[in-house]
Each structure stands twice: as structure tokens, then as C-alpha cells.
Amino acid sequence: MNHPPSMLFSLLAKAFLLVACTALSAQASEADSWPNRPVRVVVPYAPGNTGDITFRQIQTQLEARFGVRFLIDNKSGASGNIGAEDVVRAKPDGYTLLLGATNNYVINQYLIKGMRFNPMKDLQPITVISNAPSVVVVNASLPVKSLKDLSALAAQSPGKLAFASPGVGTPPHLAAELYKQLAGIDLIHVPYRGSPPAVQGLLGGETQVYITAFSSVAGNVNAGKLKALAVANPQGLSILPAVPSTAQQGLPELVTGNWWGLSAPVGTDEKIIKKLGDAIRDILADPAVRQKYAEIGVSAVGNSPAEFGTQITQEAAVWKKVIERTDIKPE
């Protein structure tokens, strides 16, 4: 039977509409039933990092709420890019997530040439789980008692004081470069291979300054071998009640730290993003969880996807400028 062109077009349109509606219905059904199997959480670093530790504090509660396993998959390499790219390329169905650190979202794209994905476009923010504000620490023998004292001493002796980092392009390196730019001072960069050697260099007097997470230096600060001068955050840390923030010492723009955020491949259903984000925010509001975080020098966050997205945009702009002004090249 021959159909006139108008009728044929109408039949094709109806068939297309039926297929589209069926696909949308299936997608909605998958989102409504999520999760019905284990969820893989990719951490793009070796086990034992702060992201691992903080996620494990909420992992059991997430599993109890959703009735499925949330499995941590440590997939390290290329400054976290290998694990992050694995998530970017995954199906956006809510069963593969990224628990990445600051550099995965806002630093690597400006520091590493030839990246095959754009974290600001290819990842869908869910929430920041934890934040470890940096702490400005110095060798205990250095004759300073505050961040202002340190800035004044550096200004008096340009190029004489040195700062440690666990490597070129690492967050502590960039944090010190930001401090230099904001304070208008000159410090020499001494990169080490990892945080433990950087701490040893500071203790031994090879360097005088280190801007890093408190967990990296807590033992030596508590023992009086290092002095904590400032918390690089609008507020201080409860674990360091006597140490004022950078904002309280005249450098409110010196805000730096290592935060860990959860995201999904772009295109993941908003129902899944909301369902998971709401659950995590509820868990992070638990005083017991917040206390456990505080004990290791981090704070629970639990912001919204929109707030997380804004944070990424704002911080990316800051670190882009720092990297361009200092012409940092990864080793």
C-alpha cells in the first residue's frame, strides 16, 4: 500500500516520538530506582589520603541508607588525571563517581599540557565532602610570632627565606606562590619529593616556611618543633584555637587548602545528583561525624551542586592567575 508523503511523515514522527518517550521513561525509571547495585567511587590517588579517610567516615552510613555498597577504587597516576578521566569516560548512570581533590577540579587543567578532558565541563558537581585548610608553619627557631611578622621579615631580607613544597605544582607550592603575590614578598622555592621530606627539610633548617594541611605537621607543631602562624581560611581551625586565620591577620585573600569533592560524569540525571547530595549533606550534619573530621584537622562541608560549581569557577580563576604569573612547569 502506498502512503502519501504527508502521511508517511506523520507515521515517522509518531514512531520517533514513541521511541523518545520510551527512552525518557526508561531513564526516569533508572533514576527513580537508583541505586540498585554497588556504586564505584574512584579516588585518583593511592590509599591512605585524606579523601579516603573522610569518605570512610560516611561510607557505612551511605550504604545503610541506600542498601548497596559504595566501593572505593584507588586509581592513581598522572597527578590524579588517570582516575578522573576514567570517571569522565564512564556511563553517566550514577554508578561511577569521582572523589577528587582540589587540583583535579581547578589546578591540573592549567598546569598539565595535553589533558584529554575538561573537569569544569565534563564533570557534574555533587558536593564538597571535606576541606583541610592550609596552615602556615615555620621552623621554631625563626624569630616570628605571626603572619605579619613573617611577611615583614621576608620583606627585610628578600630572597633569603625559603619555602618547602612536596613538589613543583603541588597545592603547597601554589599556596606559597599565592602568599608571595599577595604579601609582595620574595621567597625561594625548595621542592622535595613528597610531604615527609619537605617536613624534614623544614625541621632541619633547609627551609623556613611550609604551607600545608595541618595533618602533615601536627606532631611537630604539638611538640614545639614547628610554629603554626596562620590558618589559610576565613575562619580558624577548632583543633588550633590559638592560631588566627589569614583573614584576621590582614590577608583575607590567602585562602587555600585541600578539599575533596564528589562529582559524576556530565549528563547524570539530576534526580540521582540530588538524592545522593541530600543524603551526604544529612550525614555530614551529624555532630559525631563533624567531630571526627575536626580531630584530623578537616571540616565537613556538604554544599549544594550549585555552590560547588561556583567554588570550582572561582578557585580555578585564582590558580590560573598564580600559575601564569609564576610560569610554573610540572616536573
pLDDT digits (tens, 9 = 90+) for 202-260: 999 999 999 999 988 999 999 999 999 999 999 899 889 999 999 999 999 999 999 99
Give the helix/strand (H/E) hosting 125: strand 123-139
Q: What is the pLDDT of residue 98?
A: 98
C-alpha cell of residue 125: 558537581
Measure Cα distances from 158 to 51, 153, 162 in Å. 37, 9, 10
* Residue 18 banded pLDDT, cuts 50, 70, 90: low
Q: How far is residue 22's CA from residue 84's CA, in Å, rounded to a whole number?
A: 32
Q: 113 or 20: whose pLDDT is higher?
A: 113
Look-up of cell digits 564528589: 262
C-alpha cell of residue 157: 631580607
Pairing of strands 96-101, 39-43: parallel
Where along the chain do its domains lie?
A: 38-132+258-326, 133-249
pLDDT above 60: residue 271? yes
**Domain range 133-249, its CATH number among 3.40.190.10, 3.40.50.150, 3.40.50.360, 1.10.3470.10:** 3.40.190.10
Fold agreement (38-132+258-326, 133-249): yes
Q: What is the pLDDT of residue 331?
A: 60
**Residues comprising the chain, all counted:** 331
C-alpha cell of residue 245: 586565620
Give the helix/strand (H/E) hosting 185: none
Residue 249 — φ and ψ, nearest 5°? -115, 20
Q: Say which CATH architecture domain 38-132+258-326 belongs to.
A: 3-Layer(aba) Sandwich (3.40)
